[in-house]
Amino acid sequence: MAQSETSFADRLERARQIHSATLRFVPAFAPADLSLAGAAFSTFLQNADAANLSVSNALIDWKDTVASRSKLLAELNARVLRANARVKSNPAWASHVPTIKALADKIRGQRTPAPKPPKEEGAAPAAKREQGDQSYADIKNHLDQFTAALKKITNYDLNAPVDITTASLSATASQLQAQSSLIASHVQALSAARAARLAMYDGPSGLGAKLKAIKESVKSQYGNGSMQHNQIKSLRI
């Protein structure tokens, strides 16, 4: 079952509590597996914390790029509306109005559901096209057609505001494509970071397995009803 970002942080905190308790045991905690005690386990916990940070950073990168693309689309919609109005404002361009308006409507009317980041899984999945990304691909295609139609209008660019010239709109289409590609790469990075973290927490030698082994080691060394065992037995792993 997928776990929330908070659940990983909580598990790590409980692991730190167990480790901190074992460091104070008298006589000193001496498990059969030396990786469960002292500096070795401290290093493992630091690596688990680094895995959490890697996921957090990858998620931030994904969210930032998605937000940037959404902002670009909002700006584009306003510019397409102005370009359409410019064409309609000149009677000499009346024959181009139906085509320009139809394409403008397609751009501005395209549904763009927000893409979702990959869920927590045991391995990095193959790249998949999200519905939201498909919508942006359609917008880019419509924008290319819109710009091509504007280029057929004699003197459209003459004295036009810079941000609704054909060159500017073409550049925006390239930006949309670049941001969609970047989002896809962030999805893969996030998926890989989550898979690595999941292995560190729930793999055969992961955090869960190590904490179970620590509890067994404490029972073995100090006894099931010992003060040492009572300090850690109630902490979930």
Distance CA 159, CA 235 (A): 72
> How does pLDDT run across 26-85, given as a tens digit for each residue?
999 999 999 999 999 999 999 999 999 999 999 999 999 999 999 999 999 999 999 999
Q: Is residue 24 part of a domain?
A: yes
Average pLDDT, the chain: 91
Alpha helix (H) ranges present in 90-165? Answer: 97-109, 131-151
pLDDT value at 120 more than 90: no
For the chain, how many structural domains are there in total? Answer: 1
Task: Give the domain range for residue 201.
Answer: 5-232
3-class DSSP state for residue 178? helix
Quote the tokens at residue 109.
Answer: 């009317």
Structure tokens, 77? 């919609």
Residue 237 lies in a domain: no
Taking each helix axis from N to C terminus, what angle separates 131-151 and 97-109, rounded to the nearest 10 degrees? Answer: 160
What is the predicted pLDDT for the residue at 125? Answer: 46
Average pLDDT of the segment spanning 155-163: 97
Q: Is the model's pLDDT at 130 over the cut of 60?
A: no
Are 148 and 131 contacting, i.e. CB atoms less than 8 angstroms apart?
no
